[in-house]
Structure 1
Amino acid sequence: MPTLHITRGFPAAGKTTWAEAFCAETGAVNINRDDIRRTLRIGQHGTQRQEDAVTSVQSALFAAAVDNRSDIVLSDMNLRPKRLRPFLTGADRAGYTVEFHDFRAELDELLRRNAARDVERQVPESLIRDLWSRFPQNRWPSAERIIATVRAMTDGTFSPVDNPRDLPHCVLVDIDGTLAHHNDLRSPYDWARVSQDTVDESVRDTVQDIHAAGVRLVIMSGRDEVCRPETTEWLARHGIPWDELHMRPTGDQRSDWMVKDALVRAHIQGRFHIRYCLDDRQQVVDHYRAIGLKVFQVQPGDF
């Protein structure tokens, strides 16, 4: 049975070195977006049209390798599980096994290795630091969880939310990236410092108007429940009204969209009619829409 190998890791973590050696030894096909960019003479980050072209080539190479029943290596960072969905789905349908290969390294080591690279292969130090902050290694979901999630999405396990209009109306509002911004003053997962966040005045004004009109405000947050006291204090300090606050259960490391799906079904469905949702994160926006909810995306949030 052929195998799909998926690497995970930051720039300079050793993914390419391993993939090239592994493919030379086994004959597996290595598919890498940076290689495609170099072939197309695109820089490290092209325009949206160029990146779409890279994705098209990547998908075509994957389909050809699957048709040949070749072992495949996807040797990119692969830190955003949703971007793996078409490949995991294709591999599942074609009878492939899937193996994840994690390449972990401390920040100082990544920066040292990056500086030692050939100039054309170096990435900005700021990019490595940003990725390190946004994707903490201790929060990477397990391979089993990613595969199970993709299968659930493909199989339609996540059915539309029952949302009858004759129930009391509410609006679902996100916090991080919607009501609040950490502005790189803290890690997105540094729950002890959420009180330092700045408020988004436009979104605050909007939710104040919603609440004044008699519509219930339900805050749905991917924050860990451990920072509920700091979060409620922050909301009060910034004059943000709310009727209910639902948060990620302590220690739950599922993706935001999965957490919010579970919160909606456990606490909202059957009690309220959801008029719409305010959120920024693309994975949540996409999922809300997939289960039949109206969403206003307050800013880009593809992370």
Structure 2
Amino acid sequence: MSYEECVIVDIDGTLAEFDAEAVRQWVLGEEKQWLPFFEHMAQALPGVAVARLVGILSAQQQKIVICSGRPASYQHYTQTWLEQHSIPFDALYLRPDDEDHLADEVVKKRLLQRIREDGYQPWLVIDDRQAVVDFWRAEGLTCLQCAPGDF
């Protein structure tokens, strides 16, 4: 099997501006409330530096793989936001709906396995959440932490 090198990029707090305190009651507790979260995040602005970097990497023929803890059933919201803000991407991996109870780093580990099974070989990751950044680095990947993600 041949592999395509890629850059993995997170969305919330990375590509999309994100205030953890503003959305805490919807997504950081035991019971997730995705609809109000997505209504709020539909208005989120792109993180200028990360969006610019992704554009530069894409223009250099790097494959951009979006990897997010957002549930798969809300893929339409995610794709719409990416397209509205002209964020280039080649693949989109989201949390399976039945894994809503799992920590983000566990979800990202499973998504990384799928990414690799699909023939991608990541060489760089851009993420914000400390526990997830620690996971990527433990996997031997270079991870650029674009914001303090201690939540």
TM-score scaled by length of structure 1:
0.43
**Structure with larger RCO (C-alpha < 8 A, sep 6+):** 2
Q: Which amino acid aligns with 1:191?
A: W
1:218 partnered with 2:54 = no
| Structure 2 counterpart of 1:280 | 128
Residue pair 1:208, 1:241 contacting (<8 A) in 2 also: yes
Deviation at 1:268, TM superposition (A): 2.2
In structure 2, distance between residues paired with 1:301 and 1:197: 17
Q: Aligned Cα RMSD in Å?
A: 1.7
Deviation at 1:272, TM superposition (A): 1.9
Offset from partner CA, 1:134-168 (integer Å, 9 cap, x none): xxxxxxxxxxxxxxxxxxxxxxxxxxxxxxxx732
| Structure 2 counterpart of 1:233 | 80
Q: Which amino acid aligns with 2:83?
A: A
Residue pair 1:191, 1:226 contacting (<8 A) in 2 also: no
Structure 1 residue runs without a partner (length 5+): 1-165
Q: How many residues align?
A: 138
1:191 partnered with 2:27 = no
| Structure 2 counterpart of 1:167 | 3
Deviation at 1:267, TM superposition (A): 2.5
Q: Which amino acid aligns with 1:201?
A: V
| Structure 1 counterpart of 2:30 | none
Structure 2 residue runs without a partner (length 5+): 28-32
Q: Which amino acid aligns with 1:223?
A: R
1:246 partnered with 2:88 = no
Q: Which amino acid aligns with 2:86?
A: G
Deviation at 1:269, TM superposition (A): 4.5
Moved over 2 A (4+): 181-192, 267-270
TM-score scaled by length of structure 2:
0.84
Deviation at 1:299, TM superposition (A): 1.1
Deviation at 1:196, TM superposition (A): 2.2
- What secondary structure sits across from 1:279 in the alignment? strand
Deviation at 1:211, TM superposition (A): 0.5
| Structure 2 counterpart of 1:37 | none
Deviation at 1:185, TM superposition (A): 4.8
Which of residues 111, 119, 138 in structure 2 aligns to 1:263? 111
In structure 1, distance between residues paired with 2:149 and 2:117: 25
Q: Which amino acid aligns with 2:17?
A: H
Alpha carbons of 1:270 and 1:239: their partners in 2 closer, same or farther (altered >3 Å)? closer
Residue pair 1:182, 1:196 contacting (<8 A) in 2 also: no
Q: Which has the higher strand share?
A: 2
In structure 1, distance between residues paired with 2:22 and 2:103: 23
In structure 2, distance between residues paired with 1:204 and 1:267: 21
